[in-house]
Structure 1
Amino acid sequence: MASPEPEPQLDLQQGLFSHLIELRSRLLKACAMVLIVLLALIPFANRLYSLLAQPLVARLPQGAHLIATEVASPFITPLKLAFYTSLFISMPVILYQLWAFVSPGLYKHEKRLARPLLLAALVLFYIGCAFAYFLVLPAAFRFLTAVTPAGVEMMTDITHYLDFVMLMFFAFGLCFEVPVAVVILAAVGVVDVAKLRSVRRYAVVGAFAIAAVITPPDITSMIMLAVPMCLLYELGVLAVRWLVKPREATE
């Protein structure tokens, strides 16, 4: 007769199965939120694209305009933008579902630190995207239209424009996460306040190097990203003093 399965192993399998079920439930709720927002935005997809294209269209020379080089682009491209926007709007719900799944396994001090970090990461990402749309993109397109050679008519494909702007949003959103990254590094014991202050000059150089790679090829856009990154680094140093206790940084 076969020996009965050990209870610890059975409990482990049941626990893993219950976690997988909960994960599926959380993912379905997050996907449902994205789908609901997407369905609500589809009727406004063309209007959304017009808003997104405004920083470029307002600075195009007289008679220039955006073009569609593929047959399905006038339909597919606004639909893609509606999907990206639905992800953008649904991100608080997605992060909440993620938090609800992982929070039961965190210690009390980890929860105390994770909550403000998640909120700060979301807000900073939104601020980075808004900064790119309202300040950086107009400056970049003003430069690009000014340096267009004589005899060349600037007409940008709508799909390429969407890809470029989404890349800028993602890049600026990530770059604005500097304070969150600094706090996480301090929380796991990689750095402390003294170390962060001692490498400040290297952080400034790194910020300008990253800005030179990410931004369009004009000095204004580079400065407009590098300077906020330096300020956010200083904000991260202050956040380490406020949020990370010495015992948390050394555990």
Structure 2
Amino acid sequence: MRLTRRRRAVDPEGRMPLMDHLRELRNRLIKAILGLLLGTVIGWIIFQPVWDFLKEPYCALPESKDLNGACSLVVNGIFSAFFLRLKIAFIIGAVLSAPVWLYQLWAFVAPGLYRNERRWTYIFMGAAIPLFFVGTALAYLTVDKGLSIFLGFVPEDVAALITVDHYLGYVLAMLLVFGLTFELPLFVVILNLAGVLTSARIRKSQRIIIFGIFVFSAVATPSADPFTMLALALPTVLLFEAAALLAFLNDRRRARRPDPYAGLSDDEAAPLNLEEIDAELEKGLREDAGGDRVEPTR
């Protein structure tokens, strides 16, 4: 650690040799894996209440009751129950240890970013995480609707024997599909802020995008029933419209800015204030001097 700090103090650009990068990557991975293992152990301990929460949408259906009136899910192998508990414990561990491995990832990547890139990353993560959890919450509320549609075709004298593996796969697919689909409007806003996607292009392709959302919702949902498709497509369309509105407002704000290249001919060089640029670079180096690393120049 002293050697690394000495190198950072000597090199004003904060550069590190390749081996130092590899050592840091190894240390970050070890910490992330240890956090994941600790979270998995906790998930193994609290397995039963989490499993009761996951199977609640199925147990709320009349078709899930056996002859004794109890909710029944079956296993079809000796090791199925063990792997079920291990899988759920791992998922719980990944969620509980998310602050640990996300921080390790950020601590490894952040020194190579500019200040504005770090700011956009904070905004992206601050919006992506709530959107993902809102999508998973909506998926959890609609799981029983899709199940009731298809289990309603089971005759009255036939018992539906659903394995825990199939049910868990269905629930996890629903949660992931809803959670990831809710990130689509965020990518639209990020592309607009980066200047890649304009509001005019969004308005021009709006009908095609909305049609694509409905097609994707019909294909991506595990049950592919009309209710689940609409439950995914309609909120996504509303979020997309909100993203299109934000893109329109951002383009209006950007259009009101004065063009620094206005009045210049095609063969005329733009004026550069080198003293102002040097002052900005020195200010950035002074601001980052108190941190762990000096921000690298590019």
Which interval holds the TM-score relative to the shorter structure? 0.7 to 0.9
Paired with 2:130 and 2:62, the residues of 1 have a C-alpha distance of: 32
Give the Å deviation of 1:177: 0.5
Q: Is 1:211–2:217 an aligned residue pair?
A: yes
SS in 2 for 1:147: coil
RMSD: 2.5
Give the Å deviation of 1:190: 2.9
SS in 1 for 2:75: coil
Q: 1:139 and 1:48, CA in 2 relative to 1: closer, same or farther beyond 3 A?
A: same
Q: Is 1:31–2:33 an aligned residue pair?
A: yes
The number of residues matched between the two structures is: 236
Is the CA contact 1:45–1:79 (under 8 Å) kept in the aligned structure 2? no
Q: Is 1:123–2:130 an aligned residue pair?
A: yes
**Partner amino acid, structure 1, of 2:28:** R
Identify which of 50, 53, 58 aligns with 2:52.
Answer: 50
Identify which of 53, 64, 73 aligns with 2:80.
Answer: 73
Q: 1:178 and 1:70, CA in 2 relative to 1: closer, same or farther beyond 3 A?
A: same
**Partner amino acid, structure 2, of 1:172:** F
Give the Å deviation of 1:56: 0.8
Q: Is 1:158–2:164 an aligned residue pair?
A: yes
Q: Is 1:176–2:178 an aligned residue pair?
A: no
Question: Could you tell me which residue of structure 1 aligns to residue 290 of structure 2?
Answer: none
SS in 2 for 1:70: coil
Question: Could you tell me which residue of structure 2 aligns to residue 197 of structure 1?
Answer: 203
Give the Å deviation of 1:104: 1.3
Give the Å deviation of 1:171: 1.2
Q: 1:90 and 1:74, CA in 2 relative to 1: closer, same or farther beyond 3 A?
A: same
**Partner amino acid, structure 2, of 1:185:** L
Paired with 1:179 and 1:243, the residues of 2 have a C-alpha distance of: 15
Is the CA contact 1:34–1:86 (under 8 Å) kept in the aligned structure 2? yes
Q: 1:144 and 1:112, CA in 2 relative to 1: closer, same or farther beyond 3 A?
A: same
Question: Could you tell me which residue of structure 2 aligns to residue 221 of structure 1?
Answer: 228
Is the CA contact 2:136–2:178 (under 8 Å) kept in the aligned structure 1? yes
Which whole-Å deviations, capped at 9, do the CAs of 1:87-138 have from their partners, x for residues lacking one? 12322332222222111111222122111102212221122112111x2202
**Partner amino acid, structure 2, of 1:39:** V
Give the Å deviation of 1:239: 4.4
Task: Give the gaps of 5 or more residues in structure 1.
Answer: 1-12
Give the Å deviation of 1:209: 0.5
Aligned sequence identity (%): 35
Q: Is 1:112–2:119 an aligned residue pair?
A: yes
Q: Is 1:235–2:235 an aligned residue pair?
A: no
Question: Could you tell me which residue of structure 2 aligns to residue 185 of structure 1?
Answer: 191
Larger radius of gyration: 2
TM-score (norm 1): 0.84
Q: 1:92 and 1:14, CA in 2 relative to 1: closer, same or farther beyond 3 A?
A: closer
When structure 1 is superposed on structure 2, of 165-174 and 185-194 the one drifting more is 185-194
Question: Could you tell me which residue of structure 1 aligns to residue 286 of structure 2?
Answer: none
Give the Å deviation of 1:19: 1.7
Paired with 2:50 and 2:231, the residues of 1 have a C-alpha distance of: 25
Which whole-Å deviations, capped at 9, do the CAs of 1:19-55 have from their partners, x for residues lacking one? 2222222222222221112112212213322221111
TM-score (norm 2): 0.72
Paired with 1:240 and 1:91, the residues of 2 have a C-alpha distance of: 30
Give the Å deviation of 1:188: 4.3
Is the CA contact 2:189–2:243 (under 8 Å) kept in the aligned structure 1? yes
Give the Å deviation of 1:240: 3.9
Paired with 2:186 and 2:38, the residues of 1 have a C-alpha distance of: 30
Is the CA contact 2:42–2:89 (under 8 Å) kept in the aligned structure 1? no
**Partner amino acid, structure 1, of 2:123:** P
Task: Give the gaps of 5 or more residues in structure 2.
Answer: 1-14, 256-298
